[in-house]
């Protein structure tokens, strides 16, 4: 992260500074300095290597692109300063500049690495795009101190040290420029103390806030952190920390971390960095992700002596603790009937219950590591009075009809003590349903289920039937199954032919419907109706009894069904919305379809 140059006079208060070995004030022009680069000569307005007291370059004087220019110092031998313990260079600068906003222009300082034989950027807080200071066109400059730590230099790098200021217009025709006065160079000894008393000011499951005691007057620090035991230099680092305490984010919950911090001994965040020693290692551990109780406890597959319990997890846990007892019991008391650990939130069968009895159950999340939520509940259920012993989708397994044709489906059920050879068993409700997708009938829309009527006894079974063809008026492939309910207990579903629905074992039936419901494709002799258009009621008359009337909307959806059994019948349409409908009428063995306009 780069920092903008501070054009301020810096007073060294962060550490101790002694100017001893190197204390050079350059006076320009100076033939020991050199100008290098590839640039348009007309843009170099002041040349400190030949005639001028300033180095001034205006990229806008001559319109062109590709200017790169450097002013390079003579070689400075740093060995004596290094031996004297003065391992920091202070560059005293007075300069002004303007960089175009959002541009690729660059301006800064580099040093010569004699070991690698190349120029390297100094950590000097070089300006960024859009930065400006003073007025470079008039050389109205301000002071700026930049510091450079050469503590790790080899002897060769010390002996052959030199530095330069560089400018690159980045290939822009809109580049600006700069003006620099002769710099000063001083070797100094800057020291400051490492921070101490590291501590957490806040701690969470994915972040932490770390504070410390600053033992000098520094206002900037560098930090490095990683999982416990990491080696310095291999962790995550931030060299421009301007606040204490310091926020860390993106951590892993329930994880141990090590943290180190050191002071930047350069005062007032001036360019460059001279660091103290690292602090002692500080270790902290993030908290666990909050363990949240489940919700939506339900009981299904209700039987006289057993039930299956389910719930909705609210976190990433994979284990739960469940407790149950008679309704109103005190959790954990002598009334508690049972408790168990679960590893699934959808399949938890408990047995040994009493028929027709109300129970409560509670569930808590187990998030691991001894971290558990509170109990959610109580959730209440009542066991069944009887057990549905067997049910199915009896017949047929498949079929193909034209839209509007009849297609009767039969299903059977056996309940011990309720179904028998002497008529319909009590408290049983049966449905036949369909879906356009061949999946578990438990997922089919409730609007696709139709109440089936009792047909006959088949041994100890009760048989029910429904004309599904009358419900399907558009072409397509439909899957059908049976559904039964005993009293108000859970639905149970039947598949063809062997028993409860199970994909690949007792499947849904398949019905193919071809064509669509015809419009006035057949009329019935002697049948009439009026008025049409109709506002509220319509009167139907026939020579024989009207057996059945069905009304469909333009989408083919059945919106009305009745079986009058009389020759004159008033059909009430006031509840329907305005629009066009198709009326299908059956009289004796004739069927007719008619268009009806509802006003």
Return the pLDDT at 474.
85
Return the pLDDT at 505.
87
Return the pLDDT at 267.
58
Are residues 509 and 399 located together in one domain of the fold? yes
CATH number at residue 535: 2.60.40.3080
Cα separation values, 104 from 12, 120, 129, 205, Å: 33, 19, 7, 41
Q: Angle at Cα 212 formed by Cα 208 and Cα 213, nearest 5°? A: 165
Are residues 95 and 243 located together in one domain of the fold? no
Residue 129 has pLDDT above 90, yes or no: no
Cα separation values, 118 from 113, 115, 158, 511, Å: 6, 8, 14, 82
Q: List strands edge to edge, sheet with 307-312.
A: 295-300, 307-312, 349-350
Residue 1 has pLDDT above 50, yes or no: no
CATH number at residue 427: 2.60.40.10
DSSP-assigned letter for residue 155: H
Assigned domain for 10 exists: no
SS (H, E, C) 469-490: HHHCCCCEEEEEEEEEEECCCC
> Mean pLDDT score of the chain, rounded to an integer?
87
The distance in angstroms from the start CA to the end CA of the chain is 74
Domain with 553 in it: 528-598
Q: Which of 200, 208, 209, 213 is nearest to 263 (CA)?
A: 213
Q: Is the dihedral of CA 347, 353, 356, 359 positive or negative?
A: negative
Q: Using 50, 70 and 90 to split pLDDT, how confident is the model at 71? A: very high
Q: Specify the number of domains making up the chain.
A: 5
108-122 pLDDT, tens digit each: 899 999 999 999 988
Please state the length of the chain.
599
Are residues 153 and 70 located together in one domain of the fold? yes
- Mean pLDDT value of segment 279-298: 91
Return the pLDDT at 87.
87
DSSP-assigned letter for residue 345: S
Q: Using 50, 70 and 90 to split pLDDT, how confident is the model at 178? A: very high
Assigned domain for 1 exists: no
- Mean pLDDT value of segment 176-198: 92
Are residues 141 and 35 located together in one domain of the fold? yes
Residue 236 has pLDDT above 70, yes or no: yes
Q: Using 50, 70 and 90 to split pLDDT, how confident is the model at 34? A: very high
Q: Using 50, 70 and 90 to split pLDDT, how confident is the model at 288? A: confident
C-alpha 248/C-alpha 204 separation (Å) is 10
Which of these three, 139, 155, 188, is where a domain ends? 188
Assigned domain for 50 exists: yes
Residue 14 has pLDDT above 50, yes or no: no
Residue 270 has pLDDT above 70, yes or no: no
Chain Cα centroid distance, residue 421? 60
Are residues 565 and 460 located together in one domain of the fold? no
Are residues 74 and 162 located together in one domain of the fold? yes
Residue 142 has pLDDT above 90, yes or no: no
Q: Which of 5, 13, 302, 35 is nearest to 125 (CA)?
A: 5
393-407 pLDDT, tens digit each: 998 999 888 887 788
Q: Which of 462, 451, 388 is nearest to 425 (CA)?
A: 462
Are residues 452 and 550 located together in one domain of the fold? no
Which of these three, 355, 382, 409, is where a domain ends? 382
SS (H, E, C) 558-585: EEEEECCCEEEEEEECCCCCCEEEEEEE
73-122 pLDDT, tens digit each: 999 999 999 999 888 898 888 999 999 887 789 998 999 999 999 999 88
Which of these three, 228, 259, 281, is where a domain ends? 281
Q: Using 50, 70 and 90 to split pLDDT, how confident is the model at 172? A: confident
Residue 494 has pLDDT above 70, yes or no: yes
Are residues 113 and 262 located together in one domain of the fold? no
Q: Using 50, 70 and 90 to split pLDDT, how confident is the model at 11? A: very low
Return the pLDDT at 406.
81
Return the structure tokens found at 418. 């309720």
C-alpha 501/C-alpha 560 separation (Å) is 30
- Mean pLDDT value of segment 511-540: 80
Name the pTM for this structure.
0.44
């Amino acid at each position: 992260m780069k920092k903008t140059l501070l054009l301020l006079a810096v007073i060294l208060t962060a550490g101790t500074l002694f100017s001893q070995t190197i204390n050079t004030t350059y006076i320009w022009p100076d033939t020991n300095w050199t100008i290098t680069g590839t640039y348009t000569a007309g843009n170099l307005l002041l040349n400190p290597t030949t005639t001028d007291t300033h180095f001034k370059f205006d990229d806008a004087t001559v319109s062109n692109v590709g200017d790169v220019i450097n002013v390079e110092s003579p070689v400075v031998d740093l060995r004596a300063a290094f031996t004297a313990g003065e391992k920091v260079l202070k560059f005293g600068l007075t300069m002004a500049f303007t960089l175009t906003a959002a541009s690729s222009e660059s301006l800064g300082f580099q040093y010569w690495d004699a070991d690698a034989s190349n120029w390297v950027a100094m950590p000097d807080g070089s300006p960024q795009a859009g930065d400006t200071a003073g007025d470079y066109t008039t050389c109205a400059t301000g002071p700026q101190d930049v510091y450079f730590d050469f503590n790790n230099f080899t002897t060769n790098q010390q002996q052959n040290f030199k530095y330069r200021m560089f400018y690159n217009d980045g290939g822009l025709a809109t580049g600006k420029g700069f003006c620099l006065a002769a710099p000063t160079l001083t070797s100094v000894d800057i020291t400051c103390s490492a921070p101490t008393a590291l501590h957490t000011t806040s701690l969470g499951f994915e972040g932490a806030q770390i504070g410390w005691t600053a033992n000098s007057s520094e206002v900037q620090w560098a930090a490095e952190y990683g999982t416990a035991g990491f080696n310095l230099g291999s962790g995550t680092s931030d060299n421009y920390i301007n606040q204490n305490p310091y926020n860390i984010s993106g951590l892993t919950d329930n994880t141990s971390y090590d943290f180190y911090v050191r002071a930047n001994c350069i005062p007032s965040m001036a360019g460059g960095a001279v660091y103290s020693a690292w602090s002692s290692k500080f270790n902290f551990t993030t908290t666990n992700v909050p363990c949240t109780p489940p919700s939506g406890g339900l009981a299904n597959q209700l039987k006289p002596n057993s039930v299956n319990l389910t719930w909705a997890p609210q976190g990433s846990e994979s284990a739960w603790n469940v407790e149950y007892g008679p309704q109103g019991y005190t959790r954990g008391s002598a009334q508690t009937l049972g408790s168990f650990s679960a590893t699934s939130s959808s399949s938890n069968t408990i047995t040994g219950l009493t028929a027709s009895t109300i129970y409560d159950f509670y569930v808590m999340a187990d998030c691991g590591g001894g971290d558990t939520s509170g109990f959610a509940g109580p959730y209440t259920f009542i066991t069944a009075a009887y057990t549905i012993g067997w049910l199915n989708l009896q017949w047929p397994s498949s079929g193909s009809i034209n839209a509007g044709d009849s297609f009767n489906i039969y299903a059977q059920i056996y309940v011990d003590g309720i179904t028998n050879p002497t008529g319909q068993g009590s408290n049983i409700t049966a449905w036949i349903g369909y879906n356009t997708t061949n999946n578990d009938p438990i997922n089919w829309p409730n609007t696709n289920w139709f109440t089936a009527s009792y047909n006959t006894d088949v041994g100890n079974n009760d048989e029910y039937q429904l004309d599904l063809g009358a419900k399907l008026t558009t072409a397509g492939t439909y899957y059908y199954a049976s559904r039964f309910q005993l009293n108000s207990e859970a639905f149970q579903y039947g598949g063809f032919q062997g028993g409860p629905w199970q994909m690949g074992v007792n499947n849904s039936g398949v019905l193919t419907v071809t064509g669509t419901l015809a419009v006035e494709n057949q009329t019935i002799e002697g049948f009439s109706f009026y008025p049409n258009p109709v506002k509220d009621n319509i009167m139907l008359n026939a020579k024989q009894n009207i057996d059945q009337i069905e009304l469909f909307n333009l989408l083919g959806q059945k919106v009305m069904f009745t079986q009058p059994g009389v020759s004159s019948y008033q059909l009430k349409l006031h509840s329907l919305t305005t629009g066009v409908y198709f009326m299908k009428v059956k009289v004796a063995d004739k069927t007719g379809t008619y268009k009806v306009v509802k006003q």
